[in-house]
Amino acid sequence: MAGKQPKSGAGKRQAKTPYSAWSLLRQGLAGQSGWSKAWEDRDPLPRYDVVVIGGGGHGLATAYYLARTHGISRVAVLEKGWIGGGNTGRNTTIIRSNYFYPASAALYDFSVQLYEGLTRELNYNIMFSQRGMLEVAHDEADLEAMARAANAMRLNGVDIELLSRDEVLNMVPLLDARPEIRWPVAGALIQRRAGVARHDAVAWGYARAADALGVDIIQNCEVTGFDITAGRLAAVETTRGRIAADRFGMAVAGHSSVLAGMAGFRLPLQSYALQAMVSEPLKPCLHQVVSSSVNGAYVSQSDKGELVMGGNLDRCPSYAQRGSFAVTQSVVASLVEMFPSFASLKLMRQWAGIVDASPDNSPIIGPSPVAGLYLNCGWGTGGFKAIPAGGTLLAHLLATGNNHPLSEPFDLARFTTGRLVDEAHAGVAH
Amino acid sequence: MQQFPCPWCGLRAENEFRYIGDAGIPRPPRTASDAEWAQYLYFRSNAKGAARELWIHSAGCGRWFELDRNTATHDVAAARPMTS
């Protein structure tokens, strides 16, 4: 970003050019000269009310809700690289809320509901397409497990239906209908409100709206140390100097343990590479998101026409942003078995993000062992779908010092009391 | 595909192995507090860099062993039979 503005943290800023048909027409006639920048790359001030570490979706959303909901606009978002360049830009953009336990369903469905109104709220088209997500069952045992999961999800108030084999094959005609294959279609779970969105737009939409409310977005600013005085976090040392604040939030996904280590505590997390890959672009051929209940592989088609594919975590802890070929191979093999017509496609790109997996596959939202520092981590493989909720809940914590009722079940204390939200063993997809 | 050294079988493809967790975490006594027990069960340093890990050659000889591995580079420094 060129053209830095020294002015920072000054509260309300000049309004952005709204994105609308009228603006498009007017700017078209004016030679596109009147658009305001979506957001400014700021220099840090020495002190803020709140500092949010991590300029991904969760961090930017946190800053936005701090300013919008709680009226706290002397806020800085510190990003070590560029905004949305970590997992926010590396995920497969799936949004859904088909979780087993009531606390999880309430959290993720709140997020889906916020996503449903986000384009309007941010005046930024996040292209949320609720095209439905199917989880395919391959045999009778799968179907029985799915019926149990579906009942639990429906009791949680989430829109879930169990589809028969014929309904699935009518809906997704590219699936191999033969019964003798390795992963035959026996039926499926569908959440019709699930879908995909444009991930970069989520980051930029929150950044633009937060910037308009006075938030400073500071890039290339890596936290290198914590200044903890009398048990309370007073300031962070960064590659761009010391920055003090009353309260700090961290939303740094796979690097949560690294920051916690700097602050002198440990977290119940392991960092893993989660990979994704895309094929060459095709004409529209697959409308829904389709996943397998057994092998973990899933696929959807992007607006550009590429098939976006992913699967399970890589097999061992990693901070290297590249995936293991063994997992790439198993994802592609599983999908080609389910969709034989994809076999002739070429893979164009493959990449990985570092995710922070918790023992119960549920996030950690709450105070840290250091006063003044609050946590938003442990989303594991499912952070993107939770961005609006994660931002709302961390903002609530930072503004009030207390957990929101929705995030209360997800605090760090659950690992000591044993009150886990054990989605890891609930038999549902993550 | 990466290859890992099994102390008994030598270099084998990574998908023959299964990662278990950190090596060298002592089990606390039965009198441990809830907080100590939580540290033992769940809390990890999750180091970026050198790590001492426990693995099983699950699709090979089936034996457990320790692996010194760098989580930032995936380099393997050493493998040895379990020591604790």
Residue A368 to residues A267, A375, A411, A422: CA-CA distances in angstroms?
Answer: 9, 6, 9, 21
Q: Are residues A210 and A345 in the same domain?
A: no
Residues A347 and A365 in one domain: no
DSSP state letter for A341: G
Residue A417 sits in a domain whose CATH number is: 3.50.50.60
- The verdict on A278 and A352 lying in the same domain is yes
Instruction: Write down the pLDDT at residue A430.
Output: 61
Q: Which of A357, A381, A411 is the last residue of a domain?
A: A357
Residue A115 lies in a domain: no
If asked whether residues A164 and A278 sit together in one domain, one would say yes
CB proximity A257 to B under 8 Å: yes
Whether A421 and A382 have beta carbons less than 8 Å apart is answered as: no
Residue B16 lies in a domain: yes
Q: Do A166 and A56 reside in the same domain of the chain?
A: no
Same domain, A86 and A215: yes
Is residue A274 pLDDT above 60, yes or no? yes
- Please report whether residue A173 resides in a domain: yes
Instruction: Classify residue B32: in a domain, yes or no.
Output: no
Residue B12 lies in a domain: yes
Q: Is the Cβ pair B17, A315 closer than 8 Å?
A: yes
Residue A313 lies in a domain: yes
Per CB-CB distance under 8 Å, the chain A contacts of B69 are 316
Condensed to tens digits (0 to 9), the pLDDT of residues A241-256 reads: 999 999 999 999 999 9
Whole-prediction pTM value? 0.95
Q: Does any CB of chain B come closer than 8 Å to the CB of residue A321? A: no
Using the Cβ of B14 and the Cβ atoms of chain A, whether some distance falls under 8 Å is answered with yes
Co-location of A277 and A336 in the same domain: yes
Nearest residue in chain A measured CA to CA from B13: A326
- What is the per-residue pLDDT for A3? 39
Q: How many domains does chain A have?
A: 2
Share of chain B above pLDDT 90, in %: 95
Task: Give me the pLDDT at residue A321, please.
Answer: 86
Q: A77 and A150 share a domain?
A: no
Domain boundary residue among A325, A357, A389? A357
Residue B75 domain-assigned? yes
Domain enclosing residue B64, as ranges:
3-27+42-81
What's the domain range around A393?
A: 43-91+199-268+360-425
Would you state the structure tokens that stand for residue B66, as one six-digit string? 């320790």
Per-residue pLDDT band for B29 (boundaries 50, 70, 90) equals very high
Q: Do A287 and A188 share a structural domain?
A: yes
State the Cα–Cα distance between residues B79 and A103, nearest whole angstrom: 42
**With bands split at pLDDT 50, 70 and 90, how would you rate the model's confidence at A4?**
very low
Question: Which ipTM was obtained for this model?
Answer: 0.95
Chain centroid to CA A199 = 8
- Closest of A396, A86, A74, A407 to residue A256, by C-alpha: A86
Burial A43-77 (b: 16+ CB within 10 A, else e): ebbeebbbbbbbbbbbbbbbbbbbbbeeebbbbbb
Q: Indicate whether A428 pLDDT > 90.
A: no
The predicted-structure confidence for A323-364, as pLDDT tens digits, reads as follows 899 999 999 999 999 999 999 999 999 999 999 999 999 999
Mean pLDDT for chain A?
Answer: 94
d(CA A268, CA A348): 36
Does any domain span residue A38?
A: no
Domain assignment present for B49 = yes
| A chain contacts of residue B41, beta-carbon cutoff 8 Å | 359, 415
Q: Note whether A206 and A261 are same-domain residues.
A: yes
Q: Is residue A16 part of a domain?
A: no
Domain end call among A357, A378, A400: A357
Is B33 a member of any domain? no
B19/B27 Cα distance (integer angstroms): 19
- Is B60 in a helix, a strand, or coil? coil
Question: With an 8 Å Cβ cutoff, is B65 touching chain A?
Answer: no
pLDDT of residue B84: 62
Q: Please check whether residue A252 is in contact with residue A235, taking contact to mean a CB–CB distance below 8 angstroms.
A: no
User: Residue B55: in which H helix or E strand, if any?
Assistant: strand B50-56
Q: Which residues of A touch B19 (CB under 8 A)?
A: 315-317
B56 inside domain: yes
| CATH for A312 | 3.30.9.10
pLDDT tens by residue, A145-200: 999 999 999 999 999 999 999 999 999 999 999 999 999 999 999 999 999 999 99
Check if A304 contacts B (Cβ < 8 Å).
no
Structural domains in chain B (count): 1
Side chain identity, residue A311: G
Task: Give a yes or no: residue B37 inside a domain.
Answer: no
On whether both A276 and A346 belong to a single domain, the answer is yes
CATH number at residue B11: 3.30.2270.10
Taking CA atoms, what residue in B is nearest to A419? B38
Is A349 found in the same domain as A286? yes
